[in-house]
């Protein structure tokens, strides 16, 4: 089961906020039942966002070898300190949830 959370400001917490479960509140805001297989977040503005992630090439590293016979920026990056020398980054993003499909009679 995935989660629906709301970030609550809390100066005594390690990062300055704490997370609380908020399934009922999120379903009240959207007006429909949320898919329990996904993660959701109630933003500071009070909007519900479905959370997801994707893997992309790191934007901080590139082929900068001047001795490369293929030319500058000709092949994939080997990595940098920022991405842990993998050449890939995991990007997290939120988008509005869609209502469930209704079954046709």
SS (H, E, C) 50-82: EEEEEEEECCCCCCCCCCCCCCCCCCCCCCCCC
Q: Name the helix (H) or strand (E) containing 29.
A: helix 23-30
Distance CA 67, CA 92 (A): 36
What are the two backbone dihedrals, phi and then psi, of residue 25, each rounded to the nearest 5 degrees? -65, -40
Tokens 């046709």 correspond to 104
Rounded to an integer, the average pLDDT of 39-57 is: 90
pLDDT bucket at 31, cuts 50 / 70 / 90: very high
State the pLDDT at residue 15: 87
């Amino acid at each position: 089961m995935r989660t629906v959370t709301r970030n609550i400001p809390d100066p005594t917490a390690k990062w300055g906020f704490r997370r609380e479960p908020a399934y009922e509140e999120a379903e009240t805001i959207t007006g429909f039942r949320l898919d329990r297989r996904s993660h959701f977040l109630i933003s500071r503005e009070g909007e519900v966002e479905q959370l997801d992630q994707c893997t992309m090439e790191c934007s901080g590293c590139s082929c900068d070898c001047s001795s490369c016979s293929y030319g500058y920026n000709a092949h994939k990056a080997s990595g940098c300190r920022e991405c842990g020398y993998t050449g890939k980054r995991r990007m997290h993003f939120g988008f509005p949830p869609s209502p469930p499909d209704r079954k046709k009679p």
